Chain A
């Protein structure tokens, strides 16, 4: 741990651009000018030693507002991206489901096959997300990862202008590849913003100024607020996703439910598959292609808007130097660390919850809304069910703010209880199909299911809100102090969620009761594991965290060039040395006792002070010592963040 902080401090200094050494004519000044500009700006904005306290306070207030702006704009942009994506996907899948549309527009193109491949691309590709997500996030940085992912989603929208195998399938695969990184970055970003906010609030504290580890639990309240805010805004994407359906497609869908649901024999818990017997023609008349192009253009516009929001409004999560440090622990390590983090029992015990949260989100938008909602009410009510669900999830996400007062288990367990109750209810609930059995049944003999189904949607939305927000906050809180690990743990979280979504994709033909049972079992297991975890934390069972290696600036960064001693990086020999050293370091995990991190930090500090002797074998350290002193000298001068 110490190495990491240490390296970080080293970086700080490099930010200050020093004059070129000893009279060398620096003709390369123009090349580095822009960097300089940035630095100058930074310096100009940064609190100067001679600035008054008032100015300093204003400066940090501005910073705090910036953080809030980041959170809101990232949430809104993510909401737009998902609203556009889900809305488009829903519209296209319904259109493509219609046989007449398919045959007229695509004839022998095999659109069904394309759609199947597309869904496969979206659902299967995330499985390998664990392999590259941390690499991608560390290489690009959190903000740029989100921006890239929004670009990929926009690409998907643009390929829908021209639906062919060679456009849709690659873009679907790209989306599948972008899902895990996007979500890991979003969770990471929100938690990181909470940390930043804390830093800007407590800018006077010594540990902030020295960029030490934050004290235990210091930024938890910000994590709760930011995550609640994020999910409140994000869940609105379900609402906005229904706009294309409601405003455009609605007019083309056959009104008569008894026709669409003519061959549907049963609904709900009784059936297997989505809606067996659903009519293959759902459209009254085919929409003009120009109309579809217009809809897609509007969606395209929103996608661009989201991209611009990510690009312009979202500030970076880390300073450039921090980012370089995060990246400098070696790509091999970055690749391994997500796997190594499974050694932490807290994360291990949360895995069922991660999986469940993937299950439930896809179950409500596909399984429930189709097998219960559409089956009983007809396709024309689909938008209402999902909209109500999204709206309730959005509103109830604000409930998580109560976590500021109440213990966190209340929310996770509360969400689980609600979902468990609903699952049991759904196991018994088999609505009569809305159709009249092709004239065999009496028309209108099916009861009006609109109210019960909407109530279930609302309650499920409440459960989703508690679950999603709760898990997000919990992960953030468990790793609140360790920004080096945030992307790993969020990658694990969202990767498992993606795996769960893949499983839901696979089971789409299973009987509904089996699906519900799997959901219920997973939920119970998740709750139990969570309970075990909380118990262990209370009992202060130590958990293992893989050691994050010290940043190795193998890349001979500019910071070292002007130094007379460009430390350990240089010759191949010394590189190898440090490699060996890192291997030593990796092999050992650190054991942490919950609730005692602060002490440990102090201990670290102590070791840090009494350097040298303890790390005698660490030759590069010796070289760095003078720098550290120099740095401390500077800090005394009052320069800091």
Chain B
């Protein structure tokens, strides 16, 4: 009773008040569905601290403490916090739950609350020091285990008591019955020392005097060793229920001791020492009214045939928790009205064809925890009304063909803890379209390949399927075998060492509401994206200890109806709050033992868990930080975290500094390079653009030939015939031929340059000396800059060395920039071919409307000479300089 190690105290407080329901995280309690709170094993030693943050709407409350707690404090809380909270002062301390609390209340002198019961262990209460009338309103009084004596009840008005208990007191029950006004019907005579026949007889006499009709006679714990047929002969004739549990009966003798009270309806002889139920064939006492018979917790080894012949109308028969090894084949013969039969926790090994043949009305058959190893053919053939069959905890390996034949109404089939190796499709044919619950927990089912036909194809009504903990190594693989389970609402797959969950593993289970996957898998599991995508109706998901490393939207984002999520014992370091915010119905989330890191990464999560009004995050205030013991998750310091402003500032200032550094440097150092490049680009671009716009330009001439008069002979004899005649039809502008007469020569040159597509310079030494020719080159090159057109074509008549040309820098500049054509002189190897090539090149150059040639003739007599592309930036800068 007064265990110091751990004392549990459970209080269920029923508060008659319904307030607005808000749900959030509590320091010490977990809120379950409804307004039930449980505050288990908290470190707080103070009740008020434990329940301090509970909402006033709390209705049920269960508290337990790790340490011993002063009962008085508890009681004080119970009695006074009600008034603190302005709640109606109606309390019921549920006795059933007050089981082992070391109450030590010495000063309790009065019981004021009309409906209150004292705890079961007011062990030092020796007298009721109250007014005679004080118990007049009491309905329920339990004074068990108090050393109270009979005298205490002298003159106490107990006529209103409905329930009065006096276990293990000093009260002489016979005297009490004699002397008080208590109603005999309402007294529990358990443990009142009526141990032998003489006392029983005396008691019965008085009882018979007080009442003719007893509904409930409880004689528990009275050390009765034997009931002879005369023991109860003076008792009232009408006893509805007789309870002889916790006595020392060795036999029942076919209930012969009840021969005077034949209309008994319920008889219990639990926790006795019965070892055998003998056959009652020759017994003439028949209990027609007996419907409930319970022999639980006895030592029955044998149940003989016809053991229940004297009770033919039994509805409920409990023989569980005995050691029945011999269960007569005809033991249940004649019990046609039996609906509920419990035979669990025995050591029965075989079920015979005849065993249940009369139980046509049986609805629940419990054969749990026996030693049955085979279900033979037709064992259950007459149980047409059976709804629940529990065969769990047996050793069933094979189920013979037609083993379940006849179970046409079966709804629940429990086959836990057997040795089934596979899920046999053919087993369930008899009830396959009706079965609602199927439990196959702890069998030895194991899959080695993923391609398996679904054994559940016909179980279209199945609601609940349990495949937990297959022995010894789990399911290992999860094949696609949920096909056909269209109604499945509850699926449990815990402890199965599944190595991989395919992304469509649950694809067919569209109605699923509860999915339990804790400990289902091995190691660190990566949930496939979309694995839950069809589970639109899922309301509760348990994925405890699955080694989840992250909480991703692909996996959890689709569970829009999710209300409860248990993520404990996974290994994720952070949880994305956006996903949680995307689960609108979430109310309950358990992230205990998830190693969330107290870092800025979880800033949002901290905020959300502490502040959201809808989701209860279990014990978030106790969640530790991985890194330090100083802080807890809910209050780690977040003010140091980045603000996005920092990122913004970083990149803007970096960009600003960059620009501010480079712009002045580039401006001073590379200004001219850029300007020149710009111009070249514009020239190039303008050229391209113009070429696109109009293929043919409006030019009077194809080319203006600029030459020195000393080269006139070459022009007239070679150039003009080759370009104007000889197959090609260029229109050339020659100064002696096409210049307007009377016009200023400069104007003529300008108009000639501008009205020709190209300006062809025939360069020779004389040309270079000529001032006019220089002007013509100038004009042509000017067009490059002003109009962004390259019109200059150079033809070198003589080989002019760099040295010579350098004196004509204007020319040199152009030469550095442009390729030019060299007239093949007569001393080269094949003059005729070379000249032919020259003309071809020239024509091509003239047809092109723009950029300089880039082809290069690589033949030995390379007259088409291209100067190395000297286009270094520094080279070109000077081109712009005045």
Are B882 and A565 neighbours in the complex by a CB distance under 8 Å?
A: no
> Is B2's beta carbon under 8 Å from chain A?
no
A:545-599 near B, CB below 8 Å: 555-558, 561-566, 570-573
Q: How far is the CA of A144 from the CA of B786 in the complex (A)?
A: 34
Q: How far is the CA of A370 from the CA of B630 in the complex (A)?
A: 28
Q: A31-B882, A147-B661, A558-B881 are in contact. Are A161 and B649 (CB under 8 A)?
A: yes
> Is B803's beta carbon under 8 Å from chain A?
yes
B698: chain A residues at CB < 8 Å are none
Q: How far is the CA of A31 from the CA of B813 in the complex (A)?
A: 17
Are B598 and A158 neighbours in the complex by a CB distance under 8 Å?
A: no
> Is B36's beta carbon under 8 Å from chain A?
no
Q: Which of A18-26, A267-275, A500-508 contacts B (4 or more CB under 8 A)?
A: A18-26
**Minimal beta-carbon separation of B659 from chain A (angstroms):** 10
Q: A162-B647, A289-B643 are in contact. Are A107 and B806 (CB under 8 A)?
A: no
> Is B351's beta carbon under 8 Å from chain A?
no
Q: How far is the CA of A577 from the CA of B651 in the complex (A)?
A: 51
Q: How far is the CA of A147 from the CA of B669 in the complex (A)?
A: 13
Q: Which residue of A lies closest to B649 (CB)?
A: A161
Q: Which of B69-77, B323-331, B872-880 contacts A (4 or more CB under 8 A)?
A: B872-880
A571: chain B residues at CB < 8 Å are 802-803, 806
B:667-716 near A, CB below 8 Å: 668-669, 675
Are A162 and B650 neighbours in the complex by a CB distance under 8 Å?
A: yes
Are B642 and A162 neighbours in the complex by a CB distance under 8 Å?
A: yes
Are B650 and A167 neighbours in the complex by a CB distance under 8 Å?
A: yes
Partner of A107, one of B600, B645, B653, B868: B600
B:316-373 near A, CB below 8 Å: none
Q: How far is the CA of A206 from the CA of B439 in the complex (A)?
A: 114
A311: chain B residues at CB < 8 Å are 664
A556: chain B residues at CB < 8 Å are 874-875, 878
> Is A290's beta carbon under 8 Å from chain B?
yes
A107: chain B residues at CB < 8 Å are 573, 597, 599-601
> Is B665's beta carbon under 8 Å from chain A?
yes
Per the CB 8 Å criterion, the residue count for chain B at the interface is 57
Are A25 and B778 neighbours in the complex by a CB distance under 8 Å?
A: yes
B640: chain A residues at CB < 8 Å are 101, 104-105, 286-289
B880: chain A residues at CB < 8 Å are 28, 31-32
**Minimal beta-carbon separation of A591 from chain B (angstroms):** 35
Q: A158-B653, A286-B640, A293-B645 are in contact. Are A24 and B658 (CB under 8 A)?
A: no
Are A557 and B637 neighbours in the complex by a CB distance under 8 Å?
A: no
Are A103 and B599 neighbours in the complex by a CB distance under 8 Å?
A: yes
Q: How far is the CA of A290 from the CA of B599 in the complex (A)?
A: 17
B875: chain A residues at CB < 8 Å are 555-556
Q: Which residue of A lies closest to B602 (CB)?
A: A107
B639: chain A residues at CB < 8 Å are 286, 288-289
Are B643 and A290 neighbours in the complex by a CB distance under 8 Å?
A: yes
Are A162 and B646 neighbours in the complex by a CB distance under 8 Å?
A: yes
Q: A151-B657, A286-B640 are in contact. Are A106 and B877 (CB under 8 A)?
A: no
> Is B660's beta carbon under 8 Å from chain A?
yes
Q: A28-B882, A556-B875 are in contact. Are A151 and B782 (CB under 8 A)?
A: no
Are A293 and B653 neighbours in the complex by a CB distance under 8 Å?
A: no
> Is B736's beta carbon under 8 Å from chain A?
no
A572: chain B residues at CB < 8 Å are 868
> Is B456's beta carbon under 8 Å from chain A?
no
B422: chain A residues at CB < 8 Å are none
A161: chain B residues at CB < 8 Å are 646-647, 649-650, 653
Are B628 and A100 neighbours in the complex by a CB distance under 8 Å?
A: yes
**Minimal beta-carbon separation of A62 from chain B (angstroms):** 23
Partner of B643, one of A24, A293, A297: A293
Are A29 and B878 neighbours in the complex by a CB distance under 8 Å?
A: no
> Is A137's beta carbon under 8 Å from chain B?
no
Q: Which residue of A lies closest to B874 (CB)?
A: A555
Q: Mark A75-111, 1 if CB is under 8 A from B, else 0.
A: 0000000000000000000000000110111111000
> Is B738's beta carbon under 8 Å from chain A?
no
Q: Which residue of B lies closest to A27 (CB)?
A: B782
Partner of A155, one of B658, B802, B813: B658
A26: chain B residues at CB < 8 Å are 882
Are A570 and B806 neighbours in the complex by a CB distance under 8 Å?
A: yes
A31: chain B residues at CB < 8 Å are 675, 880-882
Q: A100-B628, A140-B665, A566-B809 are in contact. Are A105 and B642 (CB under 8 A)?
A: yes
> Is A499's beta carbon under 8 Å from chain B?
no
> Is A159's beta carbon under 8 Å from chain B?
yes
Q: How far is the CA of A564 from the CA of B642 in the complex (A)?
A: 67
Q: Mark B723-767, 1 if CB is under 8 A from A, else 0.
A: 000000000000000000000000000000000000000000000
> Is B807's beta carbon under 8 Å from chain A?
yes
Partner of B627, one of A103, A285, A558: A103
Q: How far is the CA of A288 from the CA of B639 in the complex (A)?
A: 5
In terms of DSSP, what is the predominant structure of the interface of chain B?
helix
B785: chain A residues at CB < 8 Å are 27-28
> Is A148's beta carbon under 8 Å from chain B?
yes
A28: chain B residues at CB < 8 Å are 785, 880-882
Partner of B636, one of A104, A162, A304, A558: A104
> Is B170's beta carbon under 8 Å from chain A?
no
Are B650 and A158 neighbours in the complex by a CB distance under 8 Å?
A: yes
> Is B810's beta carbon under 8 Å from chain A?
yes
> Is A486's beta carbon under 8 Å from chain B?
no
> Is A154's beta carbon under 8 Å from chain B?
yes
Are A151 and B661 neighbours in the complex by a CB distance under 8 Å?
A: yes
B642: chain A residues at CB < 8 Å are 105, 162, 289
> Is A307's beta carbon under 8 Å from chain B?
yes
Q: How far is the CA of A147 from the CA of B658 in the complex (A)?
A: 12
A:152-201 near B, CB below 8 Å: 152, 154-155, 157-162, 167
> Is B638's beta carbon under 8 Å from chain A?
yes
Q: A105-B642, A144-B668 are in contact. Are A27 and B786 (CB under 8 A)?
A: yes
**Minimal beta-carbon separation of B785 from chain A (angstroms):** 7
> Is A350's beta carbon under 8 Å from chain B?
no
A158: chain B residues at CB < 8 Å are 649-650, 653-654, 656-657
Q: Which residue of A lies closest to B877 (CB)?
A: A558
**Minimal beta-carbon separation of B84 from chain A (angstroms):** 37
**Minimal beta-carbon separation of A592 from chain B (angstroms):** 34
> Is A300's beta carbon under 8 Å from chain B?
yes
B878: chain A residues at CB < 8 Å are 556-558, 561
A563: chain B residues at CB < 8 Å are 809
B809: chain A residues at CB < 8 Å are 561-564, 566
Q: How far is the CA of A103 from the CA of B630 in the complex (A)?
A: 13
**Minimal beta-carbon separation of A309 from chain B (angstroms):** 13
Q: Contacts A25-B778, A100-B628, A566-B806 given; 6 further ones with Cβ under 8 A?
A: A27-B786, A108-B599, A158-B653, A161-B646, A162-B642, A162-B651
28 A-B residue pairs with CB within 8 Å: A24-B810, A25-B778, A27-B785, A27-B786, A28-B785, A32-B882, A106-B599, A107-B599, A140-B669, A144-B664, A144-B668, A155-B654, A155-B658, A158-B649, A161-B650, A162-B646, A285-B637, A287-B640, A289-B646, A290-B645, A293-B646, A307-B660, A557-B878, A558-B878, A561-B809, A565-B807, A566-B806, A566-B809
What 9 A-B pairs have minimum CB-CB distances, sorted nearest first?
A151-B661, A107-B599, A162-B650, A161-B650, A158-B653, A571-B802, A286-B640, A558-B881, A555-B874
Footprint of A on B, CB under 8 Å? 573, 597-601, 627-628, 630, 636-643, 645-647, 649-651, 653-654, 656-658, 660-662, 664-665, 668-669, 675, 774, 778, 782, 785-786, 802-803, 806-807, 809-810, 812-813, 868, 874-875, 877-878, 880-882
Footprint of B on A, CB under 8 Å? 20, 24-29, 31-32, 100-101, 103-108, 139-140, 144, 147-148, 151-152, 154-155, 157-162, 167, 285-290, 293, 296-297, 300, 303-304, 307, 311, 555-558, 561-566, 570-573
